[in-house]
Amino acid sequence: MKIAGLFAGVGGLELGLRQGGHESVVLSEVWEPARAVLAERFSDVPNIGDVERLRSLPADVDLLTAGFPCQDLSQAGKTAGINGRKSGLVGHVFRLIDQSRPRWVLLENVSFMLQLDRGSAMDRLVSAFEERGYRWAYRVVNSLAFLPQRRERVFFLASTEGDPSDVLLVDEVQPRVQATDLRTHAHGFYWTEGTRGLGWGPDCVPTLKNGSTVGIPSPPAILLPNGEIVTPDIRDAERLQGFRADWTKPAAAVGRASFRWSLIGNAVTRPVAAWIGKRLTKPSRFDPSRDSAAFTGVRWPRAARFDGETRREVHISAFPAWKTRPPLQEFLKYQPTLLSERATAGFLSRIEKSSLRFVPGFKERVRSHLDHVRAIDRFVDGRLPRLDAAE
């Protein structure tokens, strides 16, 4: 298929779809750091910038994609809803559909949109597609199916000619998640939290966040089996999204280097997009036994479809695959940074006052790490000093 990619970011959706044999012919991305990445990584694809400048789609476009801004839909954002200043930009998707009527449309956004305002965002989306004669299917997919990052996103596919259920709702596996132990596996969490939640992830990192538009990075922390608490290098964060290391490096030439964290936090996980791209090329056959009773849209399930007449919940997990991967501590290739004394002390203070229940031994390791970093004035021989968790 020929693709028009709106709100393209750093091209995660487009890069993954390319693996399925599809070709991007036009992109739309307005933020300068992301534009710099696209200019180098998709040098042969024109980027028209502001989506408002795109009056209609090129005649050969088969698939319109849009990872439209999630700031107004995210639980971590302003939760202003689908009509918020950022997320309301999805209206341009419908404008272009009305102008050009592409055969396929693929949207991506945060899973919280299923709950926000009792699902009004989803109701607006599906109603708009139904009014235009599209069949649709959507599914929450977890990036953990492919990589050691727990990241749930909604993928919504609509079509005027095919059945989106044959693409999104056909693959399912049981994740091979094994029991972990603080002594043998790394565990990811967010040190910026601690009173209401951690985003705790055994043998994985929690959802990579977009940081801030003023350049404040938001990397997770990782508790290593030896007791050290580190934050990953940006190149490993890129790899945790399925990009090659330094994919976002061109952004540093036009803005703060820390903008790269926002770019990677906003990105679509490449292997998820690749799975969709391959299924678009070679659809399977939806099993109608997965259907449940029709629903009205008051409560939006984690997977559903519209067959042209009825909306139905679909029983399917967030795991279309389970790719073999090394333990998190072995997945990391680049030198991480020790969580600083100030950051550790602040986090420890918050969790000691919190009513949250923590994994046995976690608080003790945080205290031990704090003692560790307080004793360090500098790196030794250019390498991170080691900490024996048993001591």
Catalytic residue numbers, as ranges: 70
Contacts of 140 (CB under 8 A, 6+ apart): 111, 114, 152, 153, 154, 302, 303, 318
> Which run of H or of E encompasses 280?
helix 270-281
CB 51 within 8 A of CB 91: no
Kindly report the backbone phi and psi dihedral angles of residue 73, in degrees, each rounded to the nearest multiple of 5, phi listed first. -110, -20
Closest of 8, 29, 106 to residue 64, by C-alpha: 106
Burial class (CB within 10 angstroms; exposed 0-12, middle 13-18, buried 19+) of 283: middle
DSSP state of 73: T
Place of tokens 């550790």: 344
Residues 65/5, Cβ–Cβ less than 8 Å: yes
Query: Which residues touch 312 (CB under 8 Å, ≥6 apart)?
Result: 291, 292, 293, 294, 295, 304, 305, 306
Residue 163's nearest CA partner among 108, 111, 103 is: 103
d(CA 387, CA 391): 8
Rounded (10°) CA dihedral 71, 77, 81, 86: -30
Residues composing the chain: 391
Tokens of 355: 């009513």
Q: Distance between CA 137 and CA 307 in Å, rounded?
A: 9
* Pairwise CA distance, residues 147 & 141, whole Å: 12
How many Cβ atoms are within 10 Å of 44's Cβ, its own excluded?
7
